[in-house]
Amino acid sequence: ETGVTQTPRHLVMGMTNKKSLKCEQHLGHNAMYWYKQSAKKPLELMFVYSLEERVENNSVPSRFSPECPNSSHLFLHLHTLQPEDSALYLCASSQDRWGNSNQPQHFGDGTRLSIL
Amino acid sequence: GENVEQHPSTLSVQEGDSAVIKCTYSDSASNYFPWYKQELGKRPQLIIDIRSNVGEKKDQRIAVTLNKTAKHFSLHITETQPEDSAVYFCAGRPDDKLIFGTGTRLQVFP
């Protein structure tokens, strides 16, 4: 399944670097999500966009800055990250954020981020 | 807010045996419970889900049961195969967000 594509797959960066993660979905969905996946922790929802408007920000530090230029693309801009930010960052999309039709979230393969 | 607890964190079974993973949730407003499977280095993928108006759902070797009164739901995998080895996540949805459990690492030994 290639409905949700994330790039890069792996990223190593220093704490002072600036980088961006990219997510693209080809499913015609209207909602997109960023999750953080750390070892032995639940998937943590970071941001939700619905129709290109941010509708959720779960108290994420400002060193993470999302951008949704259109309903098919989602970015996560990173700057001055900390070692504890090392994790797998997963993008997902769904038909709509309410899921009234119970359309499942489709995930990308993630970006494995390592902060030196 | 919703809290989803998942047990066990690891589970090892012999090929052909059954595996059961259990989750409990706290928010009675949760009305949708999906299960995702994540193989090593791969994306989470939905394998089965259940809505709160249904007590059980089955899809070949996989089944999910829901007890709304007790606020718990379980994943049952019968006749396990080595390719079932993965991390399984449950989730509850009290509003427009999925709240995930911590995951269960299932290992099926041939």
Q: What is the pLDDT of residue B67?
A: 95
Q: Does the beta carbon of B93 lie under 8 angstroms from any beta carbon of chain A?
A: yes
Q: Do B100 and A40 touch (CB under 8 A)?
A: no
Length of chain B: 110
Phi, psi (degrees; rounded to nearest 5) at B45: -130, 135
Residue A99 has pLDDT above 60, yes or no: no
Q: Would you state the structure tokens that stand for residue B74, as one six-digit string?
A: 């379980």
Asked if residue B94 lies in contact with residue B27, where contact means CB atoms within 8 angstroms, the answer is yes
Q: Report the share of chain A in percent with pLDDT over 70.
A: 94
For chain B, first and last CA: distance in Å?
A: 41
Alpha carbon of A113: minimum distance to chain B alpha carbons (Å): 13
The tally of CA atoms less than 13 A away on the side-chain side of residue A81 is 24
Residue type for position B104? T
Residue type for position B13? V
Residue type for position A100? N
Of A41, A98, A104, the CB nearest to B34: A104
Average pLDDT over chain A, rounded to an integer:
90
Q: Does the beta carbon of A107 lie under 8 angstroms from any beta carbon of chain B?
A: yes
Rounded distance between C-alpha atoms, residue A34 and residue A14, angstroms: 21
Could you count the other beta carbons within 10 Å of the beta carbon of residue B66? 21
Phi, psi (degrees; rounded to nearest 5) at A77: -90, 135
Alpha carbon of B10: minimum distance to chain A alpha carbons (Å): 11
Rounded distance between C-alpha atoms, residue B34 and residue B50, angstroms: 6
Burial A73-85 (b: 16+ CB within 10 A, else e): ebbbebeebeeeb
Q: Do A109 and B42 touch (CB under 8 A)?
A: yes
Q: What is the pLDDT of residue A35?
A: 95
| A-B Cβ pairs (cutoff 8 Å, strict) | 45
Average pLDDT over chain B, rounded to an integer:
94
Q: Does the beta carbon of A10 lie under 8 angstroms from any beta carbon of chain B?
A: no
> What is the band of A9 on the pLDDT scale with cuts at 50, 70, 90?
very high
Residue B52 has pLDDT above 60, yes or no: yes
> What is the band of A25 on the pLDDT scale with cuts at 50, 70, 90?
very high
Contacts of A110 in chain B (CB under 8 A): 43
> What is residue A20's three-state secondary structure?
strand
Q: What is the pLDDT of residue A56?
A: 79
User: What number is the average pLDDT over the span A88-103?
Assistant: 80
Q: Does the beta carbon of B99 lie under 8 angstroms from any beta carbon of chain A?
A: yes
Q: What is the pLDDT of residues B36-46, one digit of tens each?
A: 999 988 899 99
- Give the single-character DSSP code of B84: G
Q: Would you state the structure tokens that stand for residue A16, as one six-digit string?
A: 């002072």
Sequence-separated (6 or more) residues with CB below 8 Å from residue B34: A104, B46, B48, B49, B90, B91, B93, B98
Q: What is the pLDDT of residues A28-76, one digit of tens each?
A: 999 999 999 998 788 899 999 988 888 878 789 999 999 999 999 999 9
Instruction: Find out whether the peptide bond into B8 is cis, omega within 30 degrees of 0.
Output: yes
Residue B18 has pLDDT above 60, yes or no: yes
